[in-house]
C-alpha cells in the first residue's frame, strides 16, 4: 500500500536538487582530497623555505661574528702589549655590537689581562676549553650556559644566559701566543628568529626551534624543553632538508620541516638543525575554505535549480494535468473533449493518441449500444424482445431476490389480428402492431416492463417494488384501450385482446414456471372468449 503520493512537480524539484547536492558533495570531496594533497605539498615547501632561511641566517650571522672577532684579532696584533689600548678596542667592539656579551684577551697561561668592562680581568681561565681549543686555531663552541658570567653580567630576562664561544690565537706580533676569546650572546639568534617569523607568510600556527648537534632544544623550546627526537631528523643524515606530517611528543600530528645548518663559506657550522611545525588546521585552512565555498555554491545552485525545475515542471505538468483531469472525467462516464497540446512533442503525441482513443471508444460504445439495442428490441415496435427480457431479468434479479420481490405477469394475445393481416396485408398489420404497442405502453406504469414475444403476443411485467399494482384495473384499461378503433391506411379496424395472469415469486420459482402459468391462463382466457 502506498504510504504517500507526491506530485510530479515535487519529484522533479527533488530530483534536480538532490542531483546538484550530490554533485556538489562529490566535487567538494574530490577537490578537498586533491587540494589537501596540493596544500600539504605547497605548505611543506613553504615551511622548508622558512626554516632554510633561518638556518642560512644563523650560519651567515655566525660567519659574520667570527669575522668581527678575527678583525679584532688583527687589531690587537697591531696594538701589541698596551693592555689599555686592547681594553679600549674590545670595549669599542662591544659598544658597536652588543651581541658580544663579553670579550677578553688571555695570555699564554690563560690569565685574562684585558676584557670588556674589566669583567673577569685577572681571572685564570686556563682550565676552560675555550682557552685550550683557541690556542690551536679557530674554535667555535656550541650554545651553553655560562653560570659565572650570568652572575657578573646584567641580565634583565628570566631565562638563563646562553652563549656561543668564539676563540682564536692572535698569531702575530709580540702577542702571537695569546688567545682572544668572545662570548656571543644567544639573544641575536632570537632576533633572527623573530625576523624570520615576522616575514611574509608567517602565522601564529607555526613554531620554529633550533636544535643542537645532540638534539637538545637551544632556541624556541622554552625553559623546560626536552631533547627532541623525530623520525624526520634521521632523514637529514642523507639530505639537507626534509618535510612530512609527523606526530610530536604531545601526541598531535603536525606538518613538520627540518633543515641542517651546514655553515657558510669557511665556517663549517656546528651541525645545528632548524625544525618548524605547523598545525594541520593552519595548513589545511585554505582547503577547508575552498570546500566550504564549493558547498555553499552547491546550495545556491541547488536553490536556483529547484526554481528552474519548478518552472520547467510547471510547463511540462500543465498539459499533463489537463489530460489527467480529462481522463478522470472520462473514467466517471462524463463526456469530455481531450485537450490538444503543442510545444512538447511527447505530450502532443500523447494528447493526440488519447483523443483518437476516446473517439474510437465513443464510436465503439455507440456501435455496441446500437447492436445491443437491435438485439434486445423489437425492430417494429421498439419494445423489448425475448433477448431483452432475459437481459432485463438478469439485471434486476439480485434486487428482486434481495427484496423478496413479487412480479405480476400479464401474458397477452391479440384477437382478430390475423384476419386483418391476411386481408389488408403485412404493412397494415405492422402499423396495427406498432399502434397497439404504444397503447399497451400507455396502460402501464413507468416501472413496469412491456415485451413483444413475437407475432401478436405481448408480455407485461408489473413490479411490486414501489407499490402493489391493481391487476384487475390494469387489465380493464388494457382491454378498453386496445379495443378502441384503430385508424390506419384509410381503414378503421377493431382488434381485441386476451390476457392471462400469473404471479411470479422470484425467490421461490424460476420465471419460466411463472410464464407457463401465465400462458395457461391466457389459453383458458382465449377459450372462454370463443365460447
Q: Looking at residue 200, what is its pLDDT?
A: 46
Alpha-helix runs per DSSP H in 260-383: 280-283, 285-331, 345-376
Q: Residue 486's pLDDT band (boundaries 50, 70, 90)?
A: very high
CB atoms within 10 A of CB 282: 15
The predicted-structure confidence for 209-253, as pLDDT tens digits, reads as follows 888 877 788 777 665 567 788 888 888 878 888 888 888 888 888
DSSP, residue by residue, 103-143: EEEE-TTSBEEEEGGGTTTT-B-TTSHHHHHHTTS-EEPPP
Q: Looking at residue 409, what is its pLDDT?
A: 94
Q: Residue 154's pLDDT band (boundaries 50, 70, 90)?
A: low
Rounded Cα distance between 464 and 445, Å, is: 11
Q: Looking at residue 363, what is its pLDDT?
A: 76
- Across the range 401-416, mean pLDDT stands at 86
**Chain centre to alpha carbon of residue 40:** 28
The predicted-structure confidence for 93-151, as pLDDT tens digits, reads as follows 889 888 888 899 999 999 999 999 998 899 998 998 889 999 999 998 877 665 555 55
Rounded Cα distance between 372 and 380, Å, is: 16
The predicted-structure confidence for 274-329, as pLDDT tens digits, reads as follows 888 888 777 767 666 766 776 677 677 667 766 776 667 666 666 666 667 767 76
Rounded Cα distance between 202 and 69, Å, is: 33
H or E element, residue 493:
strand 491-493
Average pLDDT, rounded, for the chain? 81
Of 50-64, 306-320, 379-393, 439-453, which gets the smallest average pLDDT? 306-320
**401, 464 Cβ separation under 8 angstroms:** no
**Is residue 393 scored above 70 in pLDDT?**
yes
- Across the range 382-400, mean pLDDT stands at 87
Q: Residue 2's pLDDT band (boundaries 50, 70, 90)?
A: very low
Of 44-48, 250-254, 304-308, 389-393, which gets the smallest average pLDDT? 304-308
**501, 518 Cβ separation under 8 angstroms:** yes
What does each C-alpha distance from 261 to 53, 139, 236, 237, 278 come to in angstroms?
10, 17, 10, 12, 20
Q: Looking at residue 430, what is its pLDDT?
A: 93
The predicted-structure confidence for 416-467, as pLDDT tens digits, reads as follows 999 999 999 999 999 999 999 999 999 999 888 999 998 899 999 998 877 7
Rounded Cα distance between 499 and 474, Å, is: 11
Q: Looking at residue 158, what is its pLDDT?
A: 53
- Across the range 21-33, mean pLDDT stands at 67
Of 61-65, 269-273, 325-329, 471-475, which gets the smallest average pLDDT? 325-329
Which among 275, 283, 151, 155 has a CA at the least distance from the CA of 225?
Answer: 275
- Across the range 330-345, mean pLDDT stands at 67
146 vs 526, more confident: 526
Please, is 109 exposed, middle or buried when counting C-beta atoms within 10 Å of its C-beta (0-12, 13-18, 19+)? exposed
Which among 233, 200, 231 has a CA at the least distance from the CA of 215?
Answer: 233
**Is residue 272 scored above 80 in pLDDT?**
yes
Amino acid at each position: 500500500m502506498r504510504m504517500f503520493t507526491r506530485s510530479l512537480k515535487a519529484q522533479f524539484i527533488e530530483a534536480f536538487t538532490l542531483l546538484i547536492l550530490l554533485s556538489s558533495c562529490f566535487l567538494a570531496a574530490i577537490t578537498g582530497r586533491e587540494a589537501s594533497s596540493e596544500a600539504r605539498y605547497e605548505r611543506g615547501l613553504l615551511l622548508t623555505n622558512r626554516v632554510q632561511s633561518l638556518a642560512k641566517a644563523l650560519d651567515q650571522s655566525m660567519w659574520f661574528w667570527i669575522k668581527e672577532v678575527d678583525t679584532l684579532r688583527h687589531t690587537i696584533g697591531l696594538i701589541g702589549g698596551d693592555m689599555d689600548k686592547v681594553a679600549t678596542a674590545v670595549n669599542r667592539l662591544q659598544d658597536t655590537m652588543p651581541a658580544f656579551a663579553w670579550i677578553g684577551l688571555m695570555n699564554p697561561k690563560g690569565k685574562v689581562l684585558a676584557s670588556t668592562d674589566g669583567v673577569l680581568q685577572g681571572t685564570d681561565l686556563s682550565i676552560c676549553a675555550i682557552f685550550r681549543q683557541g690556542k690551536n686555531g679557530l674554535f667555535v663552541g656550541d650554545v651553553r650556559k655560562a653560570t659565572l658570567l650570568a652572575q657578573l653580567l646584567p641580565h634583565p630576562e628570566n631565562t638563563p644566559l646562553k652563549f656561543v664561544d668564539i676563540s682564536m690565537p692572535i698569531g702575530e706580533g709580540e702577542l702571537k701566543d695569546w688567545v682572544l676569546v668572545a662570548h656571543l650572546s644567544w639573544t641575536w639568534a632570537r632576533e633572527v628568529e623573530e625576523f624570520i617569523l615576522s616575514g611574509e607568510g608567517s602565522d601564529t600556527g607555526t613554531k620554529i626551534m633550533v636544535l643542537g648537534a645532540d638534539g637538545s632544544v637551544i632556541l624556541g623550546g622554552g625553559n623546560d624543553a626536552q631533547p627532541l627526537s623525530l623520525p624526520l631528523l634521521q632523514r637529514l643524515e642523507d639530505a639537507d632538508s626534509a618535510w612530512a606530517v609527523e606526530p610530536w611528543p604531545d601526541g598531535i600530528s603536525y606538518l613538520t620541516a627540518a633543515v641542517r645548518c651546514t655553515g657558510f663559506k669557511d665556517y663549517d657550522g656546528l651541525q645545528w638543525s632548524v625544525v618548524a611545525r605547523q598545525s594541520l588546521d593552519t595548513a589545511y585552512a585554505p582547503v577547508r575554505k575552498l570546500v566550504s565555498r564549493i558547498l555553499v555554491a552547491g546550495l545556491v545552485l541547488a536553490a536556483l535549480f529547484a526554481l528552474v525545475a519548478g518552472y520547467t515542471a510547471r510547463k511540462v505538468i500543465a498539459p499533463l494535468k489537463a489530460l489527467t483531469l480529462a481522463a478522470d472525467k472520462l473514467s466517471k462516464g462524463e463526456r469530455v473533449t481531450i485537450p490538444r497540446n503543442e510545444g512538447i512533442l511527447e505530450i502532443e503525441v500523447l494528447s493526440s493518441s488519447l483523443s483518437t482513443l476516446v473517439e474510437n471508444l465513443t464510436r465503439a460504445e455507440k456501435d455496441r449500444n446500437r447492436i445491443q439495442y437491435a438485439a434486445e428490441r423489437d425492430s417494429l415496435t421498439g419494445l423489448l424482445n425475448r433477448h431483452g427480457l432475459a437481459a432485463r431479468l438478469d439485471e434486476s434479479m439480485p434486487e428482486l431476490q434481495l427484496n423478496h420481490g413479487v412480479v405480476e405477469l400479464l401474458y397477452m394475445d391479440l384477437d382478430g389480428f390475423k384476419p386483418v393481416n391476411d386481408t389488408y396485408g403485412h404493412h397494415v398489420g405492422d402499423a396495427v402492431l406498432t399502434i397497439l404497442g404504444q397503447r399497451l405502453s400507455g396502460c402501464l406504469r413507468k416501472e413496469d416492463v412491456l415485451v413483444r414475444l413475437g407475432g401478436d403476443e405481448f408480455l407485461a411485467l408489473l413490479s411490486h417494488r414501489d407499490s402493489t399494482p391493481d391487476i384487475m384495473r390494469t387489465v380493464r384499461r388494457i382491454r378498453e384501450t386496445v379495443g378502441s378503433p384503430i385508424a390506419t391506411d384509410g381503414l378503421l379496424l377493431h382488434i381485441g385482446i386476451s390476457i392471462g395472469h400469473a404471479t411470479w415469486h422470484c425467490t421461490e420459482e424460476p420465471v419460466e414456471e411463472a410464464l407457463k402459468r401465465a400462458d395457461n391462463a391466457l389459453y383458458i382466457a382465449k377459450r372462454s372468449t370463443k365460447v
